Structure 1
Amino acid sequence: MANVDAQPRNVVQIIADDLGLMLGCYGLKSIQTPNIDKLASQGTKFTNAFASTASCSGSRSTIYTGLHTHENGQYGLNHGWNHFQTHDHIETAPQIFNALGYQTGIISKVHVGPQSVYPWEWYAPGESRDVRENAAEAARFFDRAKETSRPFHLTVGFRDPHRDATRGGFGNQDEDVSHVEVPDYQLQDVDIPDYLSDVPELRVELVEYYKSISRLDKGVGFILDELEKRNLRESTLVIFMSDNGAPFVNSKTTLYDAGVRLPLIISSPDSDSIPGTVNPNMVSFLDILPTCIAWAGSKDLFPKTSNSEKSPKRLGRSLLPILSASKIVPEEQWQQHVFGSHTFHEIQNYWPTRYMRTHKFKYHRNIAWQLNFPFGTDLYGSLSWEGIRNSTPLPDDESDTPEVMLGRRRLTSYVYRGPEELFDLEADPEEINNLTNDPQYQGQLIRMRSETEAWQYLTDDVWLFKDGVSAISSQGYQKLGLKLPDRFDFDIKRPGNASGPFWAPARPKEASEQTTKLG
């Protein structure tokens, strides 16, 4: 057993399903989330917290491993025919906390596998949205820990506010939720997110989505009540977060901020924490596991398990040193940029892309940019998307040619994307105006491209492509003399391997305007 401080220091990690930033404490006045808002007032609310990927299984795997999906192998969804699995040699949170002597557990949504890699001691998966029953299961977990005098690490994966199996529902008609009272939102009550267009079908869905969020909020309150009843709050680090953005087109499955900029609230009972802190520093969900390990009192952020020597080294940082920071910490003390990695959602949704984000700029490297950006099945089947795709085309700021719009984004630029995207977030927070061809931003583009590539090398990202070939998997041949041109994609018109510019050939003519060519 690893060296842990004597005083029990527990962790409760609450993960919402497809939430995004639609909470009262994050500025949405039209929704009622009093329990989550109260938690934020008691702890630290991060305003620049980022998931690595905008897909359920992948994002959860990064939280539980401290590794990007291209490192841990959970490239896409775990369930059904998708069947993506975390590699057997990867070290995970339940392995680590089992080794630390903790009672580990997970309740409701799991969505990663295999179970042998995620060996939670208390394993209570479920499909129900009954947040009272989820809380009752948590109560049983807490009682067992108290009976055995063990510290605990519990993850509660609420099912809300994910879509249900209907075209516009969010579980509000399920029999097992009828006893949980939520506000009766009306069509005129909802606010339309900037990344979506105001169509009647969207308002209908948002009413149901708001109800699902309010039920989630009730569940958070029930969990916190169970801790309070047992006098466990003063020894428990409570973390609230979402796995990815809201389940709408132009959000979930994309690495735009709507998909990966997410709520993160941490409530610490330590005396040096400042309730109500609003923390603007750049943090990654890969920082969650190191934070939990540090909170547990482990003398080593890398306690030994059977997979310790085989698993890649985690690059995340404990958030505890900056938990009470209400201003941006200097770069030399805290790295003020984050990276992200997405490869699949469903197994047919192959669209590998990487991103780097600072406070001011966002860079996307779209590896399979020649492919159309894919639609998740539940998003494509939604009533809101049907309403948007059949809406009246409108002229946008760039062209008088009418086009269907996603908020201010042209549908063309959503489906057809170039090999790189660069956005000035201060001027363009919705990531609409791609600056990769703007001479004024070439220096910034080159810097962020280089830093992203260096990070890909550091994390052995096999999707780091040079001349259409993985620069990582071909390293053995490179040692034997293979030279890869310094360009993203293979060019059938210039197939020679002489060193060439960093560039990409043109995609089909309908998207030629999206092509980036850099010398």
Structure 2
Amino acid sequence: MKSFTIRFFVIIIFAIFCVNCKSPKEVSDKKEVKKPLNVVLILMDDQGYDTSIDGVKGIETPNFDSFSKEGMRFTNAYAAVPSCSPSRSSISTGMYPHANGHWRNTITPSLSDGDEAFGRNANRVDKVGIHEYIKTLQEVLQENGFFTAITQKFHMSPPWKFPYSDRNTVHNDPEKYKEVIADFVDKSGDKPFFFQANISPPHRNFDKHMNKFPEYMPDPNQIVVPDYLPDTPLMREDLSKYYGCVQLADACAGAIIETLKRKGEFDNTLIIFTSDQGQPYHRAKASAYAEGLHVPYAVAGPNVIKGQISEALISHIDIMPTILNFLSLPIPETVQGKSILPVITGKQNKVTDRNYIFGEHNSHGPDVREHFPSRVVFDGQFYLIKNLMPNKSYLLPADLRAYKGWSNRSYEATVKAKDTHPMQYNLLRTLEKGRPALELYNMDNDPYQLVNLADDQSFKAKKEELISALNKWRKETGDVVDNPQKIKTRKLTK
């Protein structure tokens, strides 16, 4: 009887064990499938270094602020060029405009156009664009099986060098961004994805954005007017709309981030949150001054350290090599930027061997009157501009001076303030009538670059150091022509 009882209990225990055990295949089938690594580039249009977390008063950018705390925020991030098309091409090639061939704004397809407008048989292609031999970020990702998608606008040339799996014209509506990004994620299926999530504000026309979303307008009496612009009621009216558009753009970016979290893709996605260039004001956009190149910049994603602020000098030409490094994909030899992956993962405090960053302006559009080539070198404190055609008159692009079509009141406000704000008025006139060959500014105590130190003998050594660094960079990157309009146009291969 005792033997029977023991055998009975052994059988019961074995049966329970077998019920709860699973075959190796069953265990394997239940393993969580590791998601692929993705990338999302959130790109505002014409937003300067203007966020509440960076200290700008009178506005709120809660989404950029909270996102920054989930990753790393950079205080010394600069676009390579202060115009839309060449800036976006510099991002997608990791190259300076004078080197990749895309040195001014160009005619490009609308995202609503058919596929033929983006192919080699396109009927309308600008003669200016990147050289055919250059491998773009989009081409590399497509070749490696990525689903790629873009929103708002294209603005790169030639179009077939920047292939996307999907396109959507959504541009300023936070709720619609939620729908579009969710749709992109669903369409990507099992493929890793890259989204270039372009957002149209705060690009002018401000009124078109604010009339649709008036709830984002700040109080004109609470905002701060930058020192290079006159503090008048008319200027405050224009600036309040700009800051309102910044707040709207922040809401759109927040909708994108929220959707990635809701779809379960946030934790396996490298997200870069920045702007294509600086403020849409004279002496900012379409100029070599810091207000045209200094941009907000934050990164979050796998292995990115959280809640850190970096003063490392970084450039938009670093975006492509950083993305490819993150994805463990080869970086083309043509790339002139450097990966900032060691910085965002906490392995380094600065980009390897970098003591300076560089920038440039050539021409905003094809009109020769808008042509004013300049080169920039910045060491984190001192900012030197070399104007390659000094004293040349300059025509401001229409969106920086015209009310018709652009609702720009800032130019008018500055002209009307000639007697009350002569310094700001003279800055505008110097911009138009000709600038000196060299400009040197101490950004620590002169962030709006009001006092040119180029002829101050106490800064002679620093000026010579920066000129030497600039000349070396120009030689190494093939910037041997002072007038980019003399650069031979690339041959189109269709």
Identify the TM-score tier after normalising by the shorter chain: 0.7 to 0.9
- Pick aligned residue for 1:391 from 396, 413, 417: 417
Cα displacement string for residues 10-62 of structure 1 (whole angstroms, at most 9, x for unaligned residues): 00000000110121121113112111111011111100001111111111111
Q: In the aligned structure 2, how far is the partner of 1:263 from the partner of 1:287?
A: 15
Change (3 A) 1:433 1:116: same
Alpha carbons 2:234, 2:409 under 8 Å: kept: yes
Instruction: Work out whether residues 457 and 464 of structure 1, in 8 Å CA contact, stay in contact via their aligned partners in 2.
Output: no
Residue 66 of structure 1 corresponds to which residue in structure 2? 94
Q: Which residue of 1 aligns with 2:42?
A: 14
- 1:197 matched to 2:238? The reply is no
Pairing 1:323–2:323 present: no
Note if contact 2:43-2:275 (Cα within 8 Å) is conserved in structure 1.
Answer: yes
Q: Which amino acid aligns with 1:301?
A: I
RMSD value over aligned CA atoms? 2.6
Q: Tell me which residue corresponds to 2:148.
A: 104
Tell me if structure 1 keeps the 8 A contact 2:315–2:357.
yes
Cα pair distance change 1:66/1:469, threshold 3 Å: closer
Is structure 2 residue 199 aligned with structure 1 residue 161? Answer: no
After superposing the two structures, state which structure 1 stretch, 130-139 or 20-29, moved more: 130-139
The answer on whether the counterparts of 2:170 and 2:177 sit within 8 Å (CA) in structure 1 is no
Structure 1 partner of 2:462: 444
Structure 2 letter corresponding to 1:209: Y
- Alignment length (residue pairs): 431
Deviations 1:401-421 (A, max 9, x none): xx73328x6444433211111
Contact 1:363 1:422 in 2 (8 A): yes
Query: Which residue number in structure 1 is paired with residue 481 of structure 2?
Result: 463
Q: Does 1:39 align with 2:79?
A: no
Deviations 1:73-103 (A, max 9, x none): 2211123799442332322111011122211
Query: Residues of 1 paired with 2:85 and 2:398: CA distance?
Result: 15
Is residue 380 from structure 1 mapped to residue 401 from structure 2 by the alignment? yes
Taking structure 1 as the reference length, the TM-score comes to: 0.78
Relative to 1, partners in 2 of residues 1:93 and 1:209: Cα closer, same or farther, differing over 3 Å? same
User: Does the alignment pair 1:361 with 2:361?
Assistant: no
Aligned residue in 2 for 1:477: none
Shift of 1:428: 2.7
What TM-score does the superposition give when structure 2 sets the normalisation length?
Answer: 0.81
Q: Percent identity?
A: 27
C-alpha distance in 1 between matches for 2:376 and 2:298: 23
* Aligned amino acid, residue 281 of structure 1: A
Residue 370 of structure 1, CA deviation: 2.9
Superposed displacement of residue 256, structure 1: 1.2
Pairwise mapping of residues 305-320 of structure 1 onto structure 2 (< 5 A)? 313-320=334-341
- Displacement after TM superposition at 1:140 (Å): 1.0
CA distance in 2, matches of 1:469, 1:96: 30
Deviates more, 1:429-438 or 1:21-30: 429-438
* Equivalent position of 2:492 in the other structure: none
| CA offsets 1:480-512 (integer angstroms, 9 cap, x no match) | xxxxxxxxxxxxxxxxxxxxxxxxxxxxxxxxx
The 1:433–1:211 alpha-carbon spacing in structure 2 relative to 1, beyond 3 Å, is closer
Cα contact 1:160–1:212 (8 A) shared by 2: yes
Q: Is the radius of gyration larger for structure 1 or structure 2? A: 2
Partner residue, 1:77 = 105
Paired residue type of 2:129: Q
Matches within 5 A, 1:260-409: 260-270=293-303, 273-298=304-329, 300-302=330-332, 313-323=334-344, 329=350, 333-348=352-367, 349-381=370-402, 382-393=408-419, 404-406=422-424
Secondary structure in structure 1 of the residue aligned to 2:91: helix
In 1, Cα distance between equivalents of 2:219 and 2:443: 33
* Residues 287 and 183 of structure 1: CA distance in aligned 2, closer, same or farther (over 3 Å): same
Unaligned runs of 5+ in 2: 1-33, 109-123, 403-407, 489-494
CA deviation vs aligned residue, 1:207-251 (integer Å, no higher than 9, x gap): 222222222111111111211121101100111010111111121
Q: CA deviation at 1:464?
A: 4.1
What letter matches 1:73 in structure 2?
G
- Contact kept in structure 2, 1:351 and 1:374, CA below 8 Å: no
Residue matched to 1:172: 210
Look up the match of 2:450.
Answer: 432
Give the conservation status (yes or no) of the 8 Å contact 1:182–1:214: no
Higher helix share: 2
**Which stretch of the first structure deviates more once superposed, 6-15 or 378-387?**
6-15
Q: Report the Cα distance in structure 2 between the residues aligned to 1:326 and 1:205, rounded to whole angstroms.
A: 43
- For residue 294 of structure 1, what is the amino acid of its counterpart? N
